[in-house]
């Protein structure tokens, strides 16, 4: 029975390696990018980890085993990344949930609880969760009910200005950027204009209209949202990893040209991050700034997932794409273990048959 024992050890090693060790090994290669240009804030940057499209499965779609395994892996990968990289802040750019706009209130509460467990961070490190179309519905479906509960549990469902270490992030609900005057769209646009004037007052505190505003030092903001700003397709990316190039539809795959221009006019951003397409892309967008579309964090949507590490100061930035454990590697490891076991069994069988044959021959003689 030695072969059974050996098989067990092989399987156990594969299991421990794939499920507990491999994430750490792979993520060792990821480092915070360094800002080398000598500028004012370079010694005290903000380190932001940015991920997207975690799509936690709900009760309706997907197989329970798929859900269990993929989520187990996402939790492991995230916890390994957080332990190794120690970010100052983490952003999740929408579609946290796969069925956020389909589940009951009670299920949603469980969903959020589960999500916060998976993406738990050390105390004092904020987790900024941004609404995606799977969290609150596409534009036609967005209802105060979905928006309200997302905001209740996760704080940011609409348009918000979030400032940390003097760096301004404008968080945007992409689905409310239709510009058709719907209730959410009108409110979002008003909020954008308010943020625009807040930023304007940071920049020009001496102006008459600005005397009563709270002041942070001004720096150009960074856009954080679920949809990318307008682009035809990933063909325009300087780098991308989409296996097929798909033509993007305005308001569905990407923001409309009008909404993109509106964001540009009102906010004068210097950098943008988005998700939604499930594939990585670095482009210089319609506004002439760097935009990073972050790949999905889940193996369900991307067999070789990744996330972004951004080193940010009020006047500079560097971004690095951190590659995660590819699904194929895990699959290959288990297949190799199974193959090793099969070889062992085969050798054992051969020995057994040989002995049996020899025994019967002895008997005959």
Binding site for ligand NAG (CB under 6 A): 127, 154-155, 187, 190-191, 194
Q: How far is the CB of 211 from ligand NAG (least distance, A)?
A: 14
The 89-92 sheet, strands edge to edge: 127-129, 89-92, 46-51, 306-313, 316-323
Q: Which is nearer to ligand NAG, 192 or 308 (CB)?
A: 192
Q: Which is nearer to ligand NAG, 28 or 194 (CB)?
A: 194
Name the CA radius of gyration of the chain, rounded. Answer: 25
d(CA 143, CA 342): 56
Q: Which of 263, 272, 275 minimizes the C-alpha distance to 132? A: 275
Q: How far is the CB of 160 from ligand NAG (least distance, A)?
A: 10
Q: Bin 56: left if φ > 0, else alpha if -120 < ψ < 50, else beta.
A: beta
Q: How far is the CB of 195 from ligand NAG (least distance, A)?
A: 9
Q: How far is the CB of 318 from ligand NAG (least distance, A)?
A: 26
Residues 8, 341: contact at Cβ < 8 Å? no
Q: How far is the CB of 158 from ligand NAG (least distance, A)?
A: 8
Residues 239, 280: contact at Cβ < 8 Å? yes
Q: Which is nearer to ligand NAG, 155 or 327 (CB)?
A: 155
Q: How far is the CB of 123 from ligand NAG (least distance, A)?
A: 10
Q: Which is nearer to ligand NAG, 10 or 125 (CB)?
A: 125
d(CA 218, CA 286): 23
Q: Which is nearer to ligand NAG, 194 or 328 (CB)?
A: 194
d(CA 135, CA 143): 11
Q: Where are the alpha helices (DSSP H) in the chain?
A: 2-16, 22-27, 64-85, 105-118, 133-136, 144-154, 183-203, 257-267, 327-364
Q: Which is nearer to ligand NAG, 22 or 195 (CB)?
A: 195
């Amino acid at each position: 029975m030695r072969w059974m024992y050996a098989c067990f050890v092989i399987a156990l090693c594969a299991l421990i390696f794939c499920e507990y060790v491999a994430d750490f090994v792979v993520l060792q290669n990821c480092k915070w990018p360094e800002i080398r240009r000598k500028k004012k804030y370079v010694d005290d940057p903000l380190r932001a980890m940015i991920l997207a499209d975690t799509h936690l499965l709900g009760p309706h779609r997907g197989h329970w085993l798929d859900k269990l395994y993929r989520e187990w892996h996402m939790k492991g990968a995230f916890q390994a990344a957080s332990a190794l990289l120690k970010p100052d802040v983490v952003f999740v750019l929408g579609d946290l949930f796969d069925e956020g706009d389909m589940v009951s209130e009670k299920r949603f509460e469980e969903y959020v609880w589960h999500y916060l467990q998976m993406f738990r961070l050390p105390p004092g490190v904020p987790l900024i969760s941004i609404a995606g179309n799977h969290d609150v519905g596409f534009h036609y479906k967005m209802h105060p009910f979905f928006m309200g509960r997302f905001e209740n549990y996760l704080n940011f469902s609409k348009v918000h200005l979030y400032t940390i270490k003097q760096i301004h992030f404008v968080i945007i609900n992409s689905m409310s950027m239709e510009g058709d005057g719907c209730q959410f769209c009108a409110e979002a646009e008003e909020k954008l204009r308010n943020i625009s004037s807040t930023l304007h007052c940071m920049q020009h505190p001496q102006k008459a209209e600005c005397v009563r505003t709270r002041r942070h030092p001004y720096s150009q903001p960074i856009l954080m949202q679920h949809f990318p700003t307008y682009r035809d397709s990933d063909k325009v990316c300087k780098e991308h990893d989409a296996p097929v190039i798909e033509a993007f539809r305005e308001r569905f795959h990407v923001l409309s040209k009008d909404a993109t221009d509106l964001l540009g006019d009102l906010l004068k951003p210097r950098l943008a991050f988005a998700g939604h397409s499930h594939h990585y892309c670095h482009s210089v967008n319609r506004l002439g700034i760097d935009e990073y579309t972050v790949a999905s964090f889940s193996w369900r949507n991307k067999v070789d997932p990744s996330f972004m590490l951004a080193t940010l100061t009020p006047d500079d930035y560097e971004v690095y794409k951190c590659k995660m454990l590819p699904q194929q590697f895990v699959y290959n490891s288990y297949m190799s273990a199974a193959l090793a076991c099969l070889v062992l069994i085969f050798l054992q069988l051969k020995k057994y048959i040989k002995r049996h044959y020899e025994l019967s021959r002895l008997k005959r003689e």
